[in-house]
Amino acid sequence: MSSIVADRYQLLAPVGKGATGVVWRAHDQLLERDVALKEIALPPGPDASHRRRKVVREARMAARLSHRGIVTVHNLVEEPERLWIVMEFLEALTLHDTVVQAGPLPVELVAKLGRRLLEALRHAHDGGVVHRDIKPANIMLTGDRVVLADFGFAAFEGAATTSMRGTPAFIAPEALQGRGGTREADMWSFGATLYMAVEGRTPFRTVNSIAALIEALREPPRAPRRAGALEPLLRGLLRKDPMSRLGSEQAYQMLVNLRRHSAA
């Protein structure tokens, strides 16, 4: 593989691996700036065209969303055996890495992160896009920005999405029944992400297998121990019935009210 992509992007070093590809730090020699390149290898045979269509769809969905809380897509490069999504490069830690290194985060900080993340998620939903893989590893923290990344599993709202996608510990229980591609499912994942941030653990004991989804479907979440004023929000987001789950407007208002009470 050449270290120069499209006669323009010089690959510098791999910086991570997402659910759908390897992410590289690269230098845009034309505009003289660093960018992130997500490399997606195409499988051999007839599956390549299907995979190509999915990658193009991912790039288009992310590119249509313009918000400081969503990673910016600059370009899409197509090659015979792979594709490259060109995105802004962020010097950032993920929320997952932050919790691993620092432990459970303070309630006030998690509420602040939650407000900014929810603003980005509401923008995506207003644009007709459901993310389907919200989790701490897909939340980038840099400066005063909270950035939602990796739209590899995203779908247009209302599209047929019977296949299960995402990370078991953060997937809504209805996804086990093939009903995961909705705003309500994203709100469950948002709640599980905030739970992890403030508690330092996932809402359920099982983390990385199908057993996590079965537990989420049958058992109540573990009672929060550190959430404090965030507990009613977490309980409302982690309701098993998607129709009774808190929506984005309700959740956002609760976060705003929590900030007002903290400032009082």
Q: What does the pLDDT read at residue 166?
A: 66
What value does the mean pLDDT take over residues 184-188?
95
Identity of residue 92: A
**Mean pLDDT of all residues in the chain?**
89
Distance between start and end Cα atoms, the chain: 58
Quick: pLDDT tens for 111-135.
999 999 999 999 999 999 999 999 9
Cite the beta strand spans of the chain per DSSP E.
4-5, 9-17, 22-28, 33-41, 73-78, 82-88, 93-94, 129-130, 139-142, 145-148, 155-156
pTM of the shown model = 0.91
Exposed, middle or buried by CB within 10 Å (0-12, 13-18, 19+), for 151? buried
Residue ranges and CATH numbers for the domains of the chain are 4-88 (3.30.200.20), 93-263 (1.10.510.10)
Of 235, 211, 215, nearest to 223 (Cα)?
235
Which tokens go with 97?
Answer: 């890495």
Q: What does the pLDDT read at residue 185?
A: 93
For the annotated binding site for ATP, the residues are: 38
Q: How confident is the model at residue 17 (pLDDT cuts 50, 70, 90)?
A: confident
Q: What does the pLDDT read at residue 157?
A: 77
Quick: pLDDT tens for 205-252.
766 667 766 777 788 889 999 999 999 999 999 999 999 999 999 999
- Write the CA distances from 187 to 29, 112, 234, integer angstroms: 40, 17, 10
For the chain, give the percent of residues with pLDDT over 90. Answer: 64
Q: What does the pLDDT read at residue 45?
A: 80
Q: What does the pLDDT read at residue 165?
A: 62
Catalytic residues: 133
For the annotated binding site, the residues are: 38
DSSP reduced 3-state for 239? coil
